[in-house]
Chains A and B, each alone.
Chain A
Amino acid sequence: MNAPTRERFDCVVIGSGINGLAAAATLARAERRVLVLEASEQLGGTAAGEEFHPGYRTVGVHHDAALLRPLVTRSLDLERHGLVLRRSPAPTVLAGGDGARLVLHADADRTREEIAAHSRRDAESYGAWRAQLGRFRPIVERLLDAPPSDPFEADFAELGTLAKTGLALRLLGGRDMTEFLRILPMSLADWLGGWFETDLLAAGIAAGGLEGTWMGPRSEGSVFTWFAHEQSRGPEAVGGPAAVARALLAAARASGVECRTEAEVRRVCVEDGGVRGVELAGGQHLACGAVAAACGPRRALLDLLPPTALEPRHADAAGSIRCRGGIAKLDVALSGPLELAGHGGPAVERVCTAEGLEALERAFDALKYRRASERPWLDVRVPSHADPTLAPDGHHVLSILVHNAPADLAGGWDDERRAELTGRALDTLTAHAPTLPERVVATRCTTPDQLAERHRLDGGHLYQAERALDQALFLRPNADCGRYATPVGGLFLCGSGSHPPGPASGAAGLLAARAMLAARQG
């Protein structure tokens, strides 16, 4: 058989991260011929597990595998493709100043007992707070698992969906509905401060909601981003995002998806306002009717499209997407487990060192002035307990997200400043885990500027576009592209910068693929 000079696919997916693979698998299951192009030598994007030190592997840059939407697991049969889920997630240890400790369990009653040691009043509030969250959750999940509708441009079918959401909201009862609408635009500090007096508890709850934002707990609207993040948690995948990417890859390949590595896209080719194919860095041209860009929206719209493909107003809007990265990644190889002083019970798998709301706010202040936080707060995971293959026998790996470290650090990043940041992070943790220094085998610090370069992430931002009220739902990443389609026919966005946000969620990829199929462009 003669090889065709120009290969042709129904759809090319740019980027092989969790969202890209979810999009590819979804399209392939609908009988589309799909090609995934990955610029690096390894599939998985930011979720590609890497050996960062001989014998020690990461679970990806991001490490929270509970953020994978169950919708994706279900729709793509990921458990059949090797994904193992833990139904009961590991508890989170909140480690505050002066050795203060509080453990949050999945089980509300156990958590209440923990909190009672700090404050009886908070222990009581906690029950009522969890109950209210439980009532709000179905509405949040409904929004997360559906393509966002612009209520002002909805067609008949969408109006129906919107009406259903409105009805669900109304069925909460007048009081809960008003409360939900009241708190969403609030700041986490005001909201949680109204519930809890224990600062360590408020900070531990708040911290997750700030990931991927350019906000502190005092910023209005941080409650909204908290809900979108914390209430998207489902069962946790063993092996972290890397395991999710492997399962997605298996599912995609099983449906006939082809993947190529070291295939960097240089240009999306456009003719007569529509996508005709992509051109690789090596000059090769691939013809296709549609492109699903799992890379960042700015990269897709401003770097990959020919300069004349977008009208100036659309180009301006793309340039206004905010994506200021503020998280550094620290991988640590350990010769033993992470042991917290005075902490009995099962192995520690999750630690959050947010001491209080003010500490979170000060860490954010650093970002505003392009400094790395002097007292960073850490989101620490020990994935090697659930997945011992990540490290040699008896050894462990720590995966730490260090908040906050700006991509555009004043004066720029260099090895010295990375070492300084690593030192600060390890000191913070050592205050709680005195045995840590003697167990450290190796460390690797990846700052946002490096994320930008290695993973071609706009602004070094893991979420490709900041999470904020004005970059949410049908405004994510902006109003032009809020429903996955872009102003260029056949070009769709399917990454973390689209709704719902998150490098490990997969839902943006899945929903984008469905939108493509619905538009008969796939």
Chain B
Amino acid sequence: MARPYDAIIIGGGHNGLICAATLARAGRRVLVLERRHVLGGAAVSEEVFEGFTFSVCSYVVSLLRPWIIRDLDLARHGLRILPLDCSFSPLPDGRSLARWGDPERTRREIAAFSPADAEVYGEYGRTMMQMGRIVKPLIDAPAPRPTSLNPARLVEILGHARRLQALPRSLRTRFLQMMTMSAADFLDLWFESDVLKAPMSVSGIIGTYQGVRSPGTAYVLLHHYMGEIDGAFRAWGLAQGGTGAVSLAIAAAARAAGCEIRTEAPVERVLVRGGTARGVVLAGGEELYARTVVSGVDPRLTFLGLVGAEHLPAELCERMRHFKLRGSSGKVNLALDHLPEFTSRPGIGPHMHGDVAIAPSIEYLERAFDDAKYGEPSRRPYINVVIPSLSDPSVAPPGKHVMSCFVQYAPYHVNGGAETWPERRAAFGDTVLETLEEYMPGLTSAVLHRQVLTPWDLEQEFGLSEGNIFHGELSLDQLAFLRPAPGWAHYQTPVAGLWMCASGTHPGGGLMGAPGALAARAMLAEGSL
């Protein structure tokens, strides 16, 4: 029998790889097991159609923690971020709004809709950045433990409280409002123009089963500003070669530190003996042993799928059954023969190099959610379009383009049952094209190939339970010391030797990497590894 590994990581997504790289750099013998033939999990690039490479799921880089980029030396391992300079919102009536990296240009654009909003836009950004500074220490450290009586933990919590207390009162009020309000209500405090508010509000709902009018969505608006305050690179960017390039750079860093990585190695279950995780069993029956097993898949799949209820407290199993996953989004990837223009802003200009939001009004977005609330895909969905081939010609043949469309809402629990999604897939793709056609006539006829991913596909193909891109909704009851479950929010699990390291743990989802790195640090600090 081979010598056991120090750690086996289940899943080669970005968090699993970051965890692996961090452990390997600390001298541990680490094996990563990835079910698919490519690394990256949902942060993956694939040549889906010949000559066309897509960031199949996650499509922009905005939250990846700068200290992780530094610690793992990702730039040396090939990571290049291409900034997105513009957020463009076309309107059905032929008008449009573009927000640029250049504040003055943005101010002029907004002033066409509302001079008052143009004036306050800069102040809004500054306020959000100030609030980002309050939150930053929370996402770069393990979750606070409010029930702990350990003086060190209490001091930690008091530290967080003190940072809030040190703020001017008006800013603190804004912060409390942001933590509790809906994105739409919060933006109402600042702006009057729907044309501006709608595309701003969507960062509050991406990946959630909430509408822009649902309380609790405002604080996600902050994520948009998190990258910027770090100053390491622009908040919003594309990885050269697609999002998978991020994963590959991390994998390269891991391998350089001696980590072993196997693809097409699906883990069937975690080997638990005497209440302790001893290793994993692969689908083919092969058993691999390790002192520590780390799950890089979502919590429900980890506990109810790979470990099994018989090894777990009943309460945790019950919590996992009610863990809110509820995927709400899909993805449509288009290979284009040529790039049509937007009616509202003709020409293939710089406005198409950024992200394009189909979000013409708050009511449009809320109606899109209403459809989903009652089990139907949105008749007119919110779509976030990125055309990476404009900035990175390596992803498409010369003259051709790839277009990535993030689509919300597509509720996993669709009427008739999630398993009916394959029958609805084509209609879902059609809805997206019909919607886009209203802004970009001729798009449909320019499509050479299309890949449609419904939440069902995200689950079946990428192992995301219920198609949830964040491994669990980012709602207040599933954050910090409650993520994924009370008592198990610090990467450990009730099974000795089994840890979690992915988006279902603090600080949560997105291409952030903090859970993977914080989990690895926790394991090393605990000393069992």
Contacts and interface: CB of A to CB of B under 8 A. Distances in A.
A-side interface size class = 35 or more
A335 to B, nearest CB: 41
A179 B486 contact: yes
A218 B208 CA distance: 13
B189 A470 contact: no
B215 interface: yes
B185 A322 contact: yes
A152 B164 contact: yes
A183 B177 CA distance: 19
Interface in B95-122: none
A300 B155 CA distance: 42
Contacts of B322: 190, 194
A219 to B, nearest CB: 5
Interface residues of B, number: 36
Interface string B156-181: 00000100110001101100110011
A322 B373 CA distance: 24
Given A152-B165, A361-B373, A219 B475 contact: no
A475 B214 CA distance: 19
Nearest to A472: B180
Given A179-B486, A221-B215, A470 B373 contact: no
Interface stretch (A170-178, A263-271, A393-401): A170-178
A220 B486 contact: no
A327 to B, nearest CB: 19
Contacts of B487: 178
A182 B482 contact: yes
Nearest to B486: A178
B210 interface: yes
B457 to A, nearest CB: 26
Contacts of B59: none
B216 A177 contact: no
Interface in B333-390: 363, 366, 370, 373-374
B150 interface: no
B214 A220 contact: yes
A220 B182 CA distance: 9
A320 B147 contact: no
Contacts of A182: 477, 482, 486
A179 B189 CA distance: 32
A142 interface: no
A469 B215 contact: yes
B486 A470 contact: no
Nearest to A193: B322
A196 to B, nearest CB: 12
Contacts of B506: none
B213 interface: yes
A185 B189 contact: no
Contacts of B374: 358
Nearest to A176: B147
Given A185-B475, A219-B215, A175 B189 contact: no
B471 interface: no
Contacts of A175: 486
Contacts of A222: 215
A153 B169 CA distance: 9
A41 B399 CA distance: 79
Nearest to B324: A190
B215 A178 contact: no
B481 interface: yes
Interface string A295-329: 00000000000000000010000001010000000
Given A185-B476, A219-B214, A221-B216, 5 more contacts: A190-B322, A220-B216, A368-B366, A469-B215, A470-B181
Interface of A: 151-153, 170, 174-175, 177-179, 181-183, 185-186, 190, 194, 215, 218-222, 313, 320, 322, 358, 361, 365, 368-369, 468-470, 475, 478-479
Closest 6 A-B residue pairs measured CB to CB?
A185-B476, A220-B216, A469-B180, A479-B173, A470-B180, A178-B486
12 contacts: A151-B161, A152-B164, A153-B169, A174-B147, A181-B482, A218-B214, A220-B217, A313-B170, A469-B180, A469-B216, A470-B185, A470-B215
